[in-house]
Structure 1
């Protein structure tokens, strides 16, 4: 075994070769198999070594013969796209987004509430974050265990589903904001960069903590930041305080530039943490 530091080790060539030919003692084999669950590099080396043995070659021939005798038709493109999109379009998340949009319109025009746009802008950035949390992971996909071991799993699948989440909620909630009275609130599109930055930050943090914990941290942090002045506001001024706080968080080149920088940093961290998506918790 080779060691990079006190806590990280990788299987040496001799260990891999002995595992492949079956001469490795059982305790050592169990230890190696446990290590392979979290080390993609060693898993690839062991898989290559096993394929190079006589039993591995025989199994490969059997597999090819089975596939040639009974080829499995590829699923329709629409079905593949629907599966990749995940709960963002086939679960309860889409009706929830529609409910937010319709509820905002009803509150603004049917209820006569003048601060509806400010309320929508406070909630909108956490909607895609919730969609990300609900669209990826073992709690969202009954085939997660299988998919996580394929090239289509990991970060690639998480990014695909995040893109679908953003494609659904960004235009819908922005259009809803445009239709609502401004009442001192920032522009309807001012939440787009924060929504993107929070979604990327959630994905980056998920490589350390898991999707649901990361989504709770980013969404909770945003809501605490924008709603903090509201409870202390005198009666009747809560909406105004919310609009003022949103203006500080969203309005102006400085605020938007900060959100753009946060999105870029989160994307860079996510790229650096890509291998961690192969080892996310399986439960």
Structure 2
């Protein structure tokens, strides 16, 4: 039983077949858990134009059952030998433990909520980025592994958001998006799952990377990308309410990479690693940049809350 009940006009449109399919799917999901609305829908169906047909079908089924029941009982008695016992206790089915049902149901809901990104190749790609940085640093002796990882880390969750929501990512998107658990709530759940995978892997990889050459500028710390990554992720979600997940992810991700690459192409220093490290220090190191990223995160979160109804529309996402 839920605290929300379907309006009378919505129930009437559902019973007469004029309600659009996505709205009808959403209402059917609500009727499964709300006996009050289910009774209202049943009463509306009986009172409508289909009520006569439903009554005829019901009467026909009852007549068929009542007519065939005595004949079936007589045939069954005739087939039972006289020496056979008149009744036999049924073998009870082995019950499924409640704990097993609860664990299975909870695990299924968690996997569904995690979204296509974690069920697909994206999680493997995050692991590949982390292990690839360690392989470049320790196996290949590449001194720019830490700056390169810090440059890519903020856009990794952005890519996960693009692969977590929308008809391009989820074959069941229309059904999922129109369910009571869809919309912004589902977007945030899948984004949280993306962050839960990417943040630990990339942060631990940054901590394991060796320090940069003393002759090069000091690279930001391994956790310095967390606030920028959060701000870019929230910016992607906020922009998704206008242009969709894929377009928003492409705009935010390309904007971040362009903001890093443009100064590198115009700097006079020929050492690319030193230029990238210096640029990352401008964006990540110090109280002012971090407070700026925090303010951007708060602003995007407010915009996301103000536009929360946009995530309920299939054509938007």
Residue in 1 aligned with 2:258? 224
Q: CA deviation at 1:76?
A: 1.8
Q: CA deviation at 1:77?
A: 1.3
Q: Cα–Cα, structure 1 residues 282 and 205, in superposed 2: closer, same or farther, change >3 Å?
A: closer
User: Residue 86 of structure 1 contacts residue 135 of structure 1 at CA under 8 Å; is this kept in 2?
Assistant: yes
Q: Cα–Cα, structure 1 residues 56 and 140, in superposed 2: closer, same or farther, change >3 Å?
A: farther
Residue in 2 aligned with 1:43? none
Taking the aligned partners of 2:194 and 2:265, their CA distance within structure 1 comes to 31
TM-score calculated relative to the size of structure 1: 0.76
User: Residue 11 of structure 2 contacts residue 44 of structure 2 at CA under 8 Å; is this kept in 1?
Assistant: no
Q: CA deviation at 1:79?
A: 1.2
Q: CA deviation at 1:144?
A: 0.8
Q: Secondary structure at the match of 1:244?
A: helix
Q: CA deviation at 1:56?
A: 6.8
Aligned residues: 243
Q: CA deviation at 1:282?
A: 7.2
Residue in 2 aligned with 1:116? 145
Cα displacement string for residues 5-35 of structure 1 (whole angstroms, at most 9, x for unaligned residues): xxxxxxxx9x98996897xxxxxx7xx969x
Residue in 2 aligned with 1:92? 121
Residue in 2 aligned with 1:207? 241
Q: Cα–Cα, structure 1 residues 17 and 173, in superposed 2: closer, same or farther, change >3 Å?
A: closer
Q: Cα–Cα, structure 1 residues 169 and 19, in superposed 2: closer, same or farther, change >3 Å?
A: closer
Residue in 1 aligned with 2:32? none
Taking the aligned partners of 2:209 and 2:263, their CA distance within structure 1 comes to 23
Segments of 5+ residues of structure 1 without an aligned counterpart are 1-12, 23-28, 41-46, 63-72
Correspondent of 2:302 among 261, 268, 278: 268
Correspondent of 2:166 among 137, 145, 148: 137
User: Residue 129 of structure 1 contacts residue 202 of structure 1 at CA under 8 Å; is this kept in 2?
Assistant: yes
Cα displacement string for residues 33-90 of structure 1 (whole angstroms, at most 9, x for unaligned residues): 69x89xx9xxxxxx99x9497327789xx9xxxxxxxxxx996211111111012321
Correspondent of 1:254 among 284, 288, 295: 288
TM-score calculated relative to the size of structure 2: 0.68
Taking the aligned partners of 2:316 and 2:280, their CA distance within structure 1 comes to 38
Cα displacement string for residues 135-191 of structure 1 (whole angstroms, at most 9, x for unaligned residues): 111111111111111111111111001001001111110111111123221111000
Residue in 2 aligned with 1:242? 276
Taking the aligned partners of 1:20 and 1:131, their CA distance within structure 2 comes to 37
User: Residue 15 of structure 2 contacts residue 41 of structure 2 at CA under 8 Å; is this kept in 1?
Assistant: no
Correspondent of 2:131 among 79, 88, 102: 102
Residue in 1 aligned with 2:44? 54
Q: Secondary structure at the match of 1:166?
A: helix
Segments of 5+ residues of structure 2 without an aligned counterpart are 1-6, 28-36, 55-100, 213-217
Cα displacement string for residues 170-218 of structure 1 (whole angstroms, at most 9, x for unaligned residues): 1110111111123221111000001011111100100000000000111
User: Residue 124 of structure 1 contacts residue 191 of structure 1 at CA under 8 Å; is this kept in 2?
Assistant: yes
Q: Cα–Cα, structure 1 residues 55 and 103, in superposed 2: closer, same or farther, change >3 Å?
A: same
User: Residue 93 of structure 1 contacts residue 131 of structure 1 at CA under 8 Å; is this kept in 2?
Assistant: yes
Instruction: Say what the alpha-carbon RMSD is for the aligned residues.
Output: 3.3
